Amino acid sequence: MADIERLPSRQEKEDWDSVGWPRVRIATHLANVADAEHDVDAYIEAVRLGQREHFEAAPVAKRLIEAGRAAEALDWLDNNRRARGPLDLPIAELRIAALEALKRQSEAQALRWSASKRRSVRRTKNSI
């Protein structure tokens, strides 16, 4: 991990070949090791070291839900800049799972209903 910490952040230097790619490559290897060891915290650390929080929010949330840490998963989903809105369907499914794990059934059901309506509208538009 010391090697990745010595690399300048992408904000400091925007040279993808000498900074961005090596950082992502090392972080990806660390994330793979963390997955093999079923270590959610190490996976999150690898994502942060790779400065990939905005790309990896959904995968982190999925792992947190599976680890019984639904409240943290919701935090990651709330901070997901890549989501296309509250009804982004893959994100909505993760959010529903987290809400259900937290026994917030009415919120989960409301989101499920909204996502279902959105799917119906999307299918209708695509069939026209």
* pTM confidence score: 0.76
Token look-up 């599976």 returns: 66
Exposed/middle/buried for 57, CB within 10 Å: 0-12, 13-18, 19+? buried
Q: Which residues does the chain have with pLDDT short of 50?
A: none
Question: In the prediction, which pLDDT does 93 show?
Answer: 92
- Inside any domain, residue 100: yes
Are 74 and 86 a contacting pair, CB within 8 Å? Answer: no
Question: In the prediction, which pLDDT does 21 show?
Answer: 77
Question: In the prediction, which pLDDT does 10 show?
Answer: 56
- Inside any domain, residue 116: yes
Question: In the prediction, which pLDDT does 30 show?
Answer: 93
- Inside any domain, residue 111: yes
Question: In the prediction, which pLDDT does 126 show?
Answer: 55
- Inside any domain, residue 68: no
Domain span including residue 99: 74-128
**CA torsion, points 35, 44, 108, 66, in degrees to nearest 10?**
30
- Inside any domain, residue 52: no
- Inside any domain, residue 125: yes
- Inside any domain, residue 78: yes
Number of structural domains in the chain: 1
- Inside any domain, residue 99: yes
